[in-house]
Amino acid sequence: MSEPVDIEALAPDTASLTAARSLARADKWPERGAAGPALWGLCQGSGAKPYKTLAQPETGRFKCTCPSRKHPCKHALGLLLLAAREPLPPAAAPLWAAEWLEEAEKPRSPKVRAPRSLTPDPEADARRRANVSAGLQELSLWLEDLLRRGLAQLPAEPYAFYDRMAARLVDAQAPGLARWIRELAALPAQGGHWTEQVLERLGLIQLLMRAYARLEQLSPELQAEVRSQLGWTIPQEALLAEAGQPDRWLILGQVFGYDDQLRYRRTWLLGHDSRRYALLLDFAFGSQPFKQTWQPGVTLDAELVWFPASWPLRALVKPDYRLSAASTRPEGIDSWQALRRLRAEALAANPWTELLPACIGELTPQLQLDGLWLQDRHGDSLPIWQGFEQSWLLLALSGGHPLSLSLEFDGERAYPLGVWSDEGYLPLAATA
């Protein structure tokens, strides 16, 4: 059965995935079963007759009687998500499903599906680009209208105001940008400097739209970055076939989070010789385990391949890796100002950079009334992320003395990942 991470990758857009999550309940599927590798089910929609859905994820075959043009549709995705949560009972395929399966077994015509590669199918890509351009035109009008009316109106706007635009962007195959628009909705309610934050976000969206408008003039790396921000995905199997960077990779630490029912995990790696950082991003649905386990503090002798980007961080580990001896302490940087310079470099390459990993020496954790801060050797302090659960451990390790730390930085706060001590690297465990 498909792992949840695969289901996520199968979704044509985030709206389909969101809709599929609401269908991943047994009561939505009065009849369902698993006929070998094929999953079938009847899903009661708004019409009189239930939709007949068939999903064969291993072969990428999905069929449904619903009117959606998306492939796979939300029903097929919902059936997969349900099966990932609780295996469907083995049951012979009903007649309609058996016929579909028989049809599917017939040899496919060559134009049905081309093998996925890093270079997108030009025809499909051109279609998508046209779709995205149309979506961005609408977004541009929406933004101009928003600014004409003024940001002061935003607190009175319902969520649907943002959601409608986001849905349009999903339809236009720009789910990445749709996420940005949905995230805007939460800002006015946060108070504080929300107007500044909204305008900052709108500015970055504008920058992305302008970059897309002159995509051909950008470097291939920046093109890849823009496409990724808009929501283009890259087939992982194709990426893994590319040449990688061999090294001994120390798993610095992990950060876990939730996005609706989807759990995500960021695993940060640091190369011993290359001094490169890498981010492994994993997803799992509900309480399902992540597909792969990465143990913080462990060093891997592995080859990594990065997703094309102007400041590459996200990577994949090639399957043939083995555990290696612990690596030595990296030199890293020694102050927050140095991190600022690093961030400036990253932003120069990729203006939409959100997260940065870093190894910083001589940081002293300091407990204050408003939480834990990390003070550098110049006396400048930066707050630690409120959700960090190992504050006492960090204080115990430090005792008011400086430490060498690895951390994730989001522009506002630091999230410590691990500490180098005399005994070696000690990861600061996070809660999944």
Partner 1 sequence: MSLRENLWKPLLQAALPGTAQATAPGRPVLPELEALATGGSAEARLLNQAAAVAIYQRAGELPTRRLPAVAEAAPAEQRPVLPPERQKLWKRLTRQTARLRPEWRRLQQESLALFAAEGWRFPHHLLPELLELGNEARDDLSLREVLLPLLGERGLWLGGGPATALTVRAPWNWVVDWRLQELPLERSPAACGLLLRRRRRQDPVLGREMLEASWPDASAALRTALLPALLPGLSLADEPLLEQALDDKRREVREQARLLLARLDGSAYVRRMEARIAAGLQLRPLKKGAGVELELKAPAWPESAAEAAEWQRDGFEKPAFASASGRLLIAEDLLKACPPAWWLRHLDCDRERLLALIEASPQHKALGSGLIGSVLGFGDGKTAAALLRQPSIWQRQPAARLLPLALAPLLPMAELEQHCLARLTGPSDLPEEVWSLGHDDEVSPAFWPAYFRAAARAQPEAERLLPAFLLLNAAPQQLPAWLNFVRAELSPRFAEASEAQRRDFDERLELLACRCELYIVSETIPRESLT
Handedness of CA 228, 233, 237, 238 (dihedral sign): negative
Which residues ranging from 128 to 147 are in contact with partner 1 (CB under 8 A)?
A: 143-144, 147
What is 145-197 written as a DSSP string?
HHHHH-GGGGGGS-HHHHHHHHHHHHHTT-HHHHHHHHHHTTTGGG-SSHHHH
**Using CB under 8 A, which of the segments 112-120, 261-269, 324-332, 341-349 binds partner 1?**
341-349
Angle at which helix 74-85 crosses helix 14-23, to 10 degrees, equals: 50
Please give the C-alpha separations between residue 357 and each of 270, 308, 313, in angstroms, as whole numbers.
9, 18, 9
Q: Does 364 bind partner 1 (CB under 8 A)?
A: yes
> Is residue 427 within 8 Å of residue 418, measured between CB atoms?
yes
Q: Of 102 and 354, which has the nearer Cβ to partner 1?
A: 354
Q: Among 2, 68, 131, 195, which residue sits at the site for partner 1 (rule: CB under 8 A)? A: 195
Query: Using the rule CB under 8 A, is 202 a contact of partner 1?
Result: yes
165 binds partner 1 (CB under 8 A): no
Task: Please report, to the nearest 10 degrees, the dihedral formed by the alpha carbons of residues 281, 283, 288, 293 taken in order.
Answer: -10
The only residue of 25, 108, 127, 210 in contact with partner 1, by rule CB under 8 A: 210
- In angstroms, what is the minimal distance from the CB of 326 to partner 1? 16
Judged by CB under 8 A, the residue of 59, 289, 392, 432 near partner 1 is: 392
What's phi and psi for 354, nearest 5 deg?
-110, -50
Residue from 148, 189, 319, 320 binding partner 1 (CB under 8 A):
148
Least distance in angstroms from the C-beta of 398 to partner 1 = 8
Does position 48 bind partner 1 by CB under 8 A?
no
Interactions with partner 1, residue window 310-339 (CB under 8 A): 336-337, 339
b/e map 384-423, b = 16+ CB within 10 Å: bbeebebbeebeebbeeebbbbbbbbeeebbbbbbbbeee
Regarding 379 and contact with partner 1 (CB under 8 A), the answer is: yes
- Interface region with partner 1, contact rule CB under 8 A, candidates 61-69, 231-239, 321-329, 344-352: 344-352
Checking phi first, is residue 260 left (phi over 0); if not, alpha (psi -120 to 50) or beta? left
Question: Interface residues with partner 1 (CB under 8 A)?
Answer: 143-144, 147-153, 195-196, 199-200, 202-207, 210, 336-337, 339-340, 343-344, 347-348, 351, 364, 366-369, 373, 375, 379-383, 392-393, 395-397, 399-401, 411-412, 426
